[in-house]
Structure formats: C-alpha cells, structure tokens
Amino acid sequence: MMRAEPLFPDHKGTVEGPVLALTAPLSFWGGVDPSTGRIIQVRHPQCGQSIAGTVLALPGTIGSSSSSAVLLELIRLDIAPAALLLAAPDAILLIGCVVGREMGWKPPPAFRLDEAGQARLPAGRITLLADGEIRFP
C-alpha cells in the first residue's frame, strides 16, 4: 500500500484519475496553457500533454509567483488536475488551491509524495483517498 501526506487535511472524499508522472520540474507560468491545460514548456519532456483531470505527480516546480494564478484559471475552467502529488510542497502553487476553494470552485486536493514514491506510481488510473492512501489495480 502506498500513502501520500495530505496537504489540506480538511479535504474529504476520494479522487480518481490517470497518473501523469512528470519526469522534470514544471513551471505553471509559461509552462502550462491556462486555457487548455496543456504543457507548453517547449523543453519539458511531457510538452504537449494535458494535465487536465490527471493525478499530476510533480517532482518539482519552477517558481513563479504567477503559478497560483495559472492553477486558479485551470480550476475556474474545470480543467485543473484531479489531484496534485508534490515531491515538496510549493506554497505559491498551493495558494491557487486555497483561493479556488474560497471562490467556491473545486480545487484539486494536494498531497506530498516524495520522488521515490512518485517513481513507484503505476501507469494508468489510481484512486486517492482523503487520508492519502493510494489505490491502484
């Protein structure tokens, strides 16, 4: 059994989606198209893939204080990831989740899962329980 650490302990329910385990850090500002959810960072290994509806495993982020605004726009348009698995919490990115919740939208739950745990994620769909348990076939 795998377990991730919930970063918002008040999150309830389960989330399911296909895993998108990134192999390099991502900048949301300039790296993700806020109108489509596609990775547009041209040198990123997963450039062209959509993060919408995925359980997005991020080994790291490339900082910009505007990352929260990009995530917030994805949340507003209902094309955000289903959940975030962060190797290390990114306060700026997580602000987008907090503001989205305050706006009455449905932000993705965020969990901490180190890079070793991310490397063990299977291809395909997984389910994340509110307590951080990760289930997969």
| Residues designated catalytic | 64
Strand order in 133-135's β-sheet? 2-3, 133-135, 125-128, 15-21, 55-58, 83-86, 110-112, 5-6
Tokens of 27: 């900048």
Chain-centroid distance, C-alpha 53:
9
In this structure, what are the phi and psi dihedrals at residue 101, rounded to the nearest 5 degrees? -65, -40
Strands, DSSP E only, in 2-135? 2-3, 5-6, 15-21, 55-58, 83-86, 110-112, 125-128, 133-135
